[in-house]
A and B are shown apart, each in its own frame.
Chain A
Amino acid sequence: MNPAPLIAVVGNPNAGKSALFNALTGARQKVGNYPGVTVERKSGRTVLPDGRPVELVDLPGAYGLDPSSPDEAVTRNVLLGTFAGERRPDALLVVVDASNLDNHLRFALQLIGLGLPTVVALNMIDMARRDGLDLSAERLSSLLGVPVIETIAVRRKGTDELRGALEQVLAQPTRSTALAQDPQLLQREARRISEAATVSETPVRRWTHRLDRVLLHPVAGPLILGLVMFTMFQAVFAWSEAPIGWIESGMAALGEAIAASLPEGLFRSLIVDGLIGGVGAVVVFLPQILILFFFILLLEGTGYMVRAAFLMDRLMSRAGLSGRAFIPLLSSFACAVPGIMATRTIDNEKDRLTTILVAPLMTCSARLPVYTLIIAAFIPDRTLGPGIGLQGLVMFGLYIAGIGGALIAALLLRKTVARGGKSFFMMELPKYQMPALKDVAIGLWQRALIFLKRAGGIILVTTVVLWALASFPQAKPGEQQSEVSLAGRIASGIEVLVKPIGFNHDIALALIPAMAAREVAVSAIATVYAIDQSDEEQMAQSLEERLAGNWPLPTALAFLAWFVFAPQCISTIAITRRETNGWKWPAFMVGYLFALAYAAAGITYWTAVALGL
């Protein structure tokens, strides 16, 4: 049997292509990467009126067949049938923005010139009417020589007509291929056709322009952006707290239930501590990822994201980055994982790579438990002035150290490993629109799946490996498991390395499980100090006291400095692997961040010792 015909959905960025793709295929989509590049491939199925299934592939938005970004190169190669691993489409569904015809028709003409059966979706026809533009789809169709269907993708309008038109063109023999034309000639042709298809135009004050006068205002603009970001952060922390609690207690209950039904031993430990612990470590990230992406998709869908990039571009360019890096980096303050996933919107490859590499330097929420514990144990609760406490100041300093480190690292990376591809900021500011909630939901679903599938496996395996390291070989009576285990021996090896920067054996031991996630360091230290864990509050308190008694102050400060930089988060490493398509960049990231962490902890320790602290 022949495979289902492949139809490529193709068009300019901001033509509403993805919404149309969602409208045609629904939520059952396959999301992955094109082989060898970090360009997302989305495909789905729909059924034509005659009952025949067809496969749709959502090609990356492009302005033309002469590529100026990796995304556009994929689009071109797939359309020309030269992309290894993707068959050439049997038909094209070209999406154009009805209110921006003179620009979008240029690419449409190029695409029609490819000679494949083609249908044009005259999308966002409602917005064009709102702008006072009256267009004739019939006229446009006769001028272009292909069927033209009016659609409103976000309202799911025009999809049945599209399916009908696709069925028709698929039944027709392929047209002869016209030669690709000079872009400037095509542009003039596009303007001519656009004018001819316009029945009338009434000039109206455009909504978008009025909104931009406020949102891009030199003073109000940044203030509103600050407010939006503040709200987003409040929500990420406030809304995720409860679900994270449910996941943690759910996992704990599951662990207890299984523990009760299994005999004590290695197998039980593997299931409860290894597997359930590992699954828990993966799922516990979901609430923050979903909430953050809810906001990111909303900002993206409304068109505000590009405005945020516009407002911040100048400041970001100081660090050699583009304004597009602002939201991903800011998101990384909650968690670097969604931050790194959000770098997809950065079109310059080197900018994107740099942003990914510095994202883990932003102080994510997982560092807070470590910071809180150490600060509470070692930094006296003194006030330095009205409303300024020493403890808060140290915490603030740690955040600043992360940001400063990120900016310097970005500058250096842009001059070395991520050199070239001049930071490039040329973006269309699309019209504001209300995204369909369904499109946001589909986007969230896809992000969740990507995280669970791609990062989940690696995180799970690592957790089990870490469990094995801590469990073997087993301690004989009278021996400490933490000392005789492989992890304990590795810790003795690490201790030699970290002794110069003031770390003791207990810290070396805590660093190994903390590879899974930073906050694990706290419970690992607690375990090392073998404190009665029946009363949590008491545990935290006595842990602080224990630490204060056991660690010299320079060691504690060095430990804090270490966590500003150390890449101790398997999820971040796993998602970096997915987003950079290989182990090269995550390996580099881990290497440079450990080096930075070592240097920062060392400098802190030696300075503190020299000052006699």
Chain B
Amino acid sequence: MTVAAPFSQFQLSLDELAVGSRGRIAAVEWHLLDEGEVCRLKHFGFDEGVTVEPLHLGPFGRDPLAVRVGRMTVAIRRNHARAIRVAPSF
């Protein structure tokens, strides 16, 4: 597994990233997700090094999240976003 050491101390999980701020995916903890979820997230383009930006939060319990990844906007639940580690860009 790749560990993005230089960023590690600034790392957040994607659900902690503020709406409207951007981050680069440092690592995805694929083992926390089941096969279908892994497959779908990869298809959405979630991958190390990709820039992501939370755009909207669901109205109830701030769940799910609408996240921009590449040119796409995708909706994922908070518990899945937790498996994605991001290094915020300032």
Least Cβ–Cβ distance between A128 and chain B, in angstroms: 10
Least Cβ–Cβ distance between A124 and chain B, in angstroms: 12
| A64, B71: Cβ atoms closer than 8 Å | no
Other-chain residue from A106, A421, A422, A425 in contact with B64 (beta carbon distance below 8 A): A425
| B57, A218: Cβ atoms closer than 8 Å | yes
Q: Which residues of B contact A63 (CB under 8 A)?
A: 40, 43-44
Complex Cα distance, B35 from A66, in Å, reads: 11
Flag the segment in A82-90, A305-313, A547-555 that touches B. Answer: A305-313
Give residues 419-449 of A contacting B (CB, 8 Å). Answer: 421-422, 424-429
| B74, A429: Cβ atoms closer than 8 Å | yes
Least Cβ–Cβ distance between A507 and chain B, in angstroms: 42
Least Cβ–Cβ distance between B60 and chain A, in angstroms: 4
| A102, B59: Cβ atoms closer than 8 Å | no
Other-chain residue from A183, A218, A426 in contact with B75 (beta carbon distance below 8 A): A426
Give residues 422-479 of A contacting B (CB, 8 Å). Answer: 422, 424-429
Other-chain residue from B36, B42, B76 in contact with A183 (beta carbon distance below 8 A): B42
Q: Count of A residues near B, CB < 8 Å?
A: 42
| B57, A426: Cβ atoms closer than 8 Å | no
Complex Cα distance, B39 from A529, in Å, reads: 63
Least Cβ–Cβ distance between A110 and chain B, in angstroms: 11
Complex Cα distance, B73 from A426, in Å, reads: 11
The yes or no answer to A142 lying at the interface (CB within 8 A) is: no
Q: Which residues of B contact A398 (CB under 8 A)?
A: none
Q: Is the interface of A mostly helix, strand, loop or mixed?
A: helix
Q: Mark B44-58, 1 if CB is under 8 A from A, else 0.
A: 110100000001111
Q: Mark A563-607, 1 if CB is under 8 A from B, else 0.
A: 000000000000000000000000000000000000000000000
Other-chain residue from B34, B41, B74, B77 in contact with A313 (beta carbon distance below 8 A): B77
Give residues 2-56 of B contacting A (CB, 8 Å). Answer: 34-37, 39-45, 47, 55-56
| B37, A426: Cβ atoms closer than 8 Å | yes
Complex Cα distance, B59 from A79, in Å, reads: 40
| B77, A425: Cβ atoms closer than 8 Å | yes
Contact A184-B42, Cβ < 8 Å, known A209-B55, A219-B59, A311-B58? yes
Q: Which residues of A contact B61 (CB under 8 A)?
A: 314
Least Cβ–Cβ distance between B28 and chain A, in angstroms: 11
Other-chain residue from A209, A218, A426 in contact with B74 (beta carbon distance below 8 A): A426
| A315, B60: Cβ atoms closer than 8 Å | yes
Q: Which residues of A contact B63 (CB under 8 A)?
A: 313-314
Complex Cα distance, B19 from A313, in Å, reads: 19
| B72, A428: Cβ atoms closer than 8 Å | yes
The yes or no answer to A25 lying at the interface (CB within 8 A) is: no
Least Cβ–Cβ distance between B51 and chain A, in angstroms: 12
Give residues 67-81 of B contacting A (CB, 8 Å). Answer: 70-77, 80
The yes or no answer to B83 lying at the interface (CB within 8 A) is: no
Complex Cα distance, B55 from A101, in Å, reads: 21
Contact A216-B66, Cβ < 8 Å, known A68-B39, A68-B40, A314-B61? yes
The yes or no answer to A113 lying at the interface (CB within 8 A) is: no
| A100, B58: Cβ atoms closer than 8 Å | no
Give residues 292-345 of A contacting B (CB, 8 Å). Answer: 306, 309-311, 313-315, 317, 323
Q: Which residues of B contact A428 (CB under 8 A)?
A: 44, 72-75
The yes or no answer to A99 lying at the interface (CB within 8 A) is: yes
Q: Which residues of B contact A426 (CB under 8 A)?
A: 37, 40-41, 44, 74-77, 80
> Which A residue's beta carbon lies closest to that of B68?
A209
Complex Cα distance, B47 from A213, in Å, reads: 26
Least Cβ–Cβ distance between A458 and chain B, in angstroms: 34
Contact A66-B66, Cβ < 8 Å, known A212-B56, A222-B59, A426-B80? no
8 closest A-B pairs by beta carbon, nearest first, are A63-B43, A314-B60, A68-B39, A216-B56, A218-B59, A429-B73, A68-B36, A426-B40
Known contacts A103-B70, A106-B43, A427-B75, then 14 further A-B pairs from the complex at CB < 8 Å, ordered by chain A residue: A68-B39, A103-B71, A183-B42, A187-B42, A216-B66, A219-B59, A222-B59, A309-B75, A314-B60, A314-B64, A422-B37, A425-B64, A426-B77, A428-B73
On B, residues with C-beta under 8 Å from A are 34-37, 39-45, 47, 55-61, 63-64, 66, 70-77, 80
On A, residues with C-beta under 8 Å from B are 63-64, 66-69, 99-103, 106-107, 183-184, 187, 208-209, 212-213, 216, 218-219, 221-222, 306, 309-311, 313-315, 317, 323, 421-422, 424-429
A and B contact pairs by CB, cutoff 8 A, 18 listed = A64-B39, A66-B39, A69-B36, A216-B66, A221-B59, A310-B58, A310-B64, A314-B58, A314-B59, A315-B60, A424-B37, A424-B40, A425-B75, A425-B76, A426-B75, A426-B77, A426-B80, A429-B75
